[in-house]
Homo-oligomer: A and B are copies of this chain.
C-alpha cells in the first residue's frame, strides 16, 4: 500500500470546505493526553472561542466528538424523552433528518413543511403549536445545506417561547458564515459542524445549551438513550470536574481551536462581510451566465448558493469535468433537488475572490463544452462589478 497522495481540490461543494493551512498545521501538532493540564487549557480556550463565534454566554458550549449529525442527535436524545412532542420545520434534507432522529428518540414529531428553496412560515409553526398542546421543543435549520435557504430565527424563537417550548437550531452551515447570534436570537440549544464555515476538517460538532436547555436534560425521568452523547456525563468532562467520559479527539480539537482563533482574529464582522460580498459576486456571475438561482435573494445564503441545472445539461458530467479539468468540486442536489440543482459553497477559507473567479471561469468553459450558450466572460464581468462597487472582495 503506497503513501497517501490524494488529488488536490478546490472545495466549493456543500462541505467539507477548504481547510486553512494553519489549521492543517495544527492537526499535525503532537498529541497530548485528554486529561493533561495542558489539554485542559486548550479545552477552555476552545470553549471561549466557540462562545464568541456562536454569539453566546452559554457555559455549556463545546464540541461533541462526532460530525454535525452527531450534534443533531445530541440535541434530540438529550432534550426529548419518549412521548415528548416536537415541532420540526421541514423544507430540506436536514429538516427531514431531524424528524428521523427525533422519532428514533421516541418523540412525537409534528412536521411543519415549506417548499424546498423557500423559508418556513412562522405562522405555520404558530398554528402547529396551537393545535398540539404541550409541545416541548421547536426545531429549525438556520442554513439548509440542501437548499441554500437562510431561515430567520427571532420570530420563531418568540413563538416557541410564547408556547413554553425550547427553541433548537441547526447551525451547521451558518456558524462562521452568517451571524448566528445564539443569545440575541434566544436560541435555547444549537449544533454545528466544523467542516463548513469554520475551515476545519469534518469530525466535530460544536454545540451550545443555555440554562433552560440544561435544566431540561438535567430533570429527565429516563436515561439518555445514547451513552456516547449523554450530556449529563459529558458536561462533567468539559466542566470544572474534568471527569473522564470518553477519550477526546485531541487533534480535531486542536484544529477547531485554530480555526476559531483565525475567525476571531479576522473579526466576526469582517468574516461575515467577506462571505456576503463573495456570495453576491458569485450570484451576479451565475445570473450573467444565464443561470437561474433557486432562492429569493432575501433568504439566500452567501456561503451556499443553489442554482438550477440548465435543461439538457447533464448534471454528473458537468461535475466530473469540473473535477477532472479544474480540480474543482461543486455539489449535486439532494432529495427533491437531486439532478435539478448544483450547490456551490463559499465557506470559510474557500470563500475567496479567486475561488469565485475559478468557479465562474471553469463552469463557463465546461458548460460551453456541453453546448450551453454562454457569452464568454459575462460571468466574471458581472462578479467584478460587484467587487468594484463594494471596493473589496
Q: Which residues of A contact B (CB under 8 A)?
A: 1, 3-4, 6-9, 11, 13, 15-16, 18-19, 22, 24-34, 36-39, 42, 45, 48-49, 65-70, 72-73, 77, 97, 100-101, 103-105, 193, 195, 201-203, 223-228, 244-252, 254-255, 257-258, 261, 264-265, 323, 329, 334
What are 14 inter-chain pairs, A to B, with CB distance below 8 A? A3-B261, A4-B29, A6-B29, A6-B36, A6-B39, A8-B30, A9-B32, A16-B32, A31-B202, A67-B246, A70-B228, A70-B246, A100-B227, A201-B249
In whole angstroms, what is the CA distance A26 to B227 when docked?
31
- Nearest B residue to A103 by beta-carbon distance? B223
Q: Once bound together, how far apart are the Cα atoms of A263 and B33, in whole Å? A: 22
Distance in angstroms between the alpha carbons of A322 and B51 in the assembled complex:
34
Cα–Cα distance between A38 and B3 once the two chains are bound (Å): 13
| Residue on B nearest A71 in the bound complex, by CB | B228
Taking a contact as CB atoms under 8 Å apart, the answer to whether B7 and A249 are in contact is no
* Distance between Cα atoms of A5 and B51 in the complex (Å): 21
Q: A6-B30, A38-B7, A70-B228 are in contact. Are A203 and B104 (CB under 8 A)?
A: no
Which of B1, B70, B255 makes the CB contact (< 8 A) with A261? B1
Q: List 17 other contacts, CB 8 Å, given A1-B264, A16-B32.
A: A1-B45, A1-B261, A4-B257, A6-B36, A6-B254, A9-B36, A11-B33, A16-B250, A33-B329, A37-B323, A67-B248, A69-B245, A69-B247, A104-B227, A195-B247, A244-B334, A251-B255
Q: Which residues of B contact A261 (CB under 8 A)?
A: 1, 3
Q: Which of chain B's residues has its CB closest to A24's CB?
A: B28
The answer to whether B9 and A201 touch across the interface, beta carbons within 8 angstroms, is: no
Query: A227 touching B19 by the CB < 8 A rule?
Result: no
Residue numbers in B under 8 Å from A3 (CB-CB): 22, 258, 261
CB pair A66–B65 under 8 Å, yes or no, is yes
B30 touches A28 (CB 8 A): no
For A246, give its contact among B13, B36, B69, B250 (CB under 8 Å).
B69
Using Cβ atoms and an 8 Å threshold, which residues of chain B touch A249? 67, 201-203, 252
Nearest CB in chain B to that of A254: its residue = B4
Q: Which of B8, B15, B225, B251 contacts A104 (CB 8 A)?
A: B225
CA distance A108 to B25 in the complex (A): 47
Contacts of A224 in B (CB 8 A): 104
Determine the residue in chain B with the shortest Cβ distance to A199. Answer: B31
Q: How far is the CA of A147 from the CA of B347 in the complex (A)?
A: 46
Also in contact, A6 and B247, with CB within 8 A (given A28-B27, A203-B65, A228-B66): no
CB-based contact A252/B203 at 8 Å: yes
| Partner of A250 from B29, B104, B201, B248 at Cβ < 8 Å | B201
Q: A7 to chain B: which residues have CB within 8 Å?
A: 32, 36, 38
Residue of B nearest to A45 (CB): B1
Given A6-B29, A70-B65, A249-B252: A329 touches B45 (CB 8 Å cut-off): no
Instruction: Specify which chain B residues have a CB less than 8 angstroms from the CB of A227 in the assembled complex.
Output: 69, 72-73, 97, 100-101, 104
Name the residue of chain B whose CB is nearest to the CB of A258.
Answer: B4
In the bound assembly, the distance between CA atoms of A252 and B20 in angstroms comes to 16
The listed residue (B30, B66, B68) touching A24 by CB distance below 8 A is: B30
- With a CB–CB cut-off of 8 A, which chain B residues contact A30? 6, 8-9, 18-19, 24
Q: How far is the CA of A42 from the CA of B29 in the complex (A)?
A: 23
Write the nearest CB–CB distance from A337 to chain B, whole angstroms.
Answer: 13
Of B45, B246, B250, B265, the contact of A68 (CB 8 Å cutoff): B246
